[in-house]
Amino acid sequence: MAKKTALITGILGQDGPYLARLLLDKGYRVYGLIRRYSNPNFSNTDYLGVTSGIEFVTGDITDEKSLMSIIKLITPDEVYNLAAQSFVGVSWEQPKTTTEVNSLGVLYLLHAIRSAAPGARLFQASTGDLFGNNSVGGIQNETVPFKPRSPYAVTKLYSYWMTVNFRESYGMFCANGILFNHESPIRGQEFVTRKISTGAAKIKLGLAAELILGNIDTRRDWGFAGDYVEAMWLMLQHERPDDYVIATGEVHSIREFLDTAFKRLGIDDWGGYVRYDSKFSRPTEVYTLLGSPEKAKKVLGWSPKLTFEAIVHMMVDADIARLSGC
């Protein structure tokens, strides 16, 4: 049987390399969309050992012509759209760029697939941030109304509905993964989990004296990126396209993350090392994100494997190894 072909946008970010690893192991031919760089950074694909297995193509999610040519050339069976301005904090400073990439970029991609490979299946990386502070009994599932609380979430609301709309209007196989926070040793440095794992490792190694954070009383449902890319793949293997919350169903505060990270390094009392700076607080905050993975469990047979503690330990251990030059 001919190899299946997949195109992954956002290949050099966190999820792209994990997804590439999964698809290469399944025998896929994997194309990765990268932007034009003076100095491309393959450290994340190197970390997962997938750089040489990926066929890189140059384009930009905000440049419809580039998407059209690439999709015409590859005619992929599956497209995974992971490209985004994915950092909530920056979306207040750069709302226009965030909109161009996260909203219009998805529209361009949908158009390109529709005209050049209408049979291709599309996974769109949506977010638990769509819910904002809305929940039913503290839990967010597919029936909870969206109420975005950041420019980032608003841009993702547009792409969520545009994805649904192409599915309904043109019968295309388009699916949204409503992804809750997911982490790994290659998580972007500015996200709070990675900031903590790197910061704690630096303090332990005597490379830093303190860790400066914003509001540490918020709570998140943190999973492992390696588990979440499996859900993305399962969504595209199902006979019907649909939208799914992908989450662990467990919530922890940033204080608990700090506790677990510092304890891993033998530091029980981290209070003296952590300082607050309002510049890391946000104009509007989502206090708690807690998703229900029940639908994904029932329909896709997916469930997360790594526990909260295992994720924190993995990230801290990896940062210690990296900073010690191991």
The footprint of ligand GDP (CB under 6 A) covers: 88-89, 181, 190-193, 195, 213-216, 218, 220, 254, 280, 282, 285
Yes or no: say if 16 and 30 are a contact pair by the CB < 8 Å rule.
no
The piece of 23-31, 80-88, 209-217, 282-290 that touches ligand NDP (CB under 6 A) is 80-88
Residues in the chain: 326
Q: Which amino acid is at 309?
A: E
CB of 195 to ligand GDP, least distance (A): 5
Q: Is 82 in the site for ligand NDP (CB under 6 A)?
A: yes
Site for ligand NDP in 243-302 (CB under 6 A): none
CB of 243 to ligand NDP, least distance (A): 13
The piece of 132-140, 166-174, 176-184, 301-309 that touches ligand NDP (CB under 6 A) is 176-184
Place of tokens 């999973």: 223
Sole binder of ligand NDP in the list 21, 29, 182, 264 (CB under 6 A)? 182
- Residue 53 interacts with, from ligand GDP, ligand NDP, none (CB under 5-8 Å by kind): none
Place of tokens 């900031």: 195
Q: Is 101 helix (H, G, I), strand (E, B) or coil?
A: helix
CB of 219 to ligand GDP, least distance (A): 8
Across the strands, what pairs with 219? Answer: 253, 288
- Residue 213 interacts with, from ligand NDP, ligand GDP, none (CB under 5-8 Å by kind): ligand GDP
Yes or no: say if 41 and 13 are a contact pair by the CB < 8 Å rule.
no
DSSP assigned state of 146:
P
Torsion of the alpha carbons at 251, 253, 259 and 262, rounded to the nearest 10: 100
Q: Is the dihedral of CA 245, 248, 249, 251 positive or negative?
A: negative
**Token representation of residue 45:** 């694909």
Binding site for ligand NDP (CB under 6 A): 9-10, 12-16, 33, 35, 60-62, 82-86, 101, 125, 127, 179, 181-182, 188
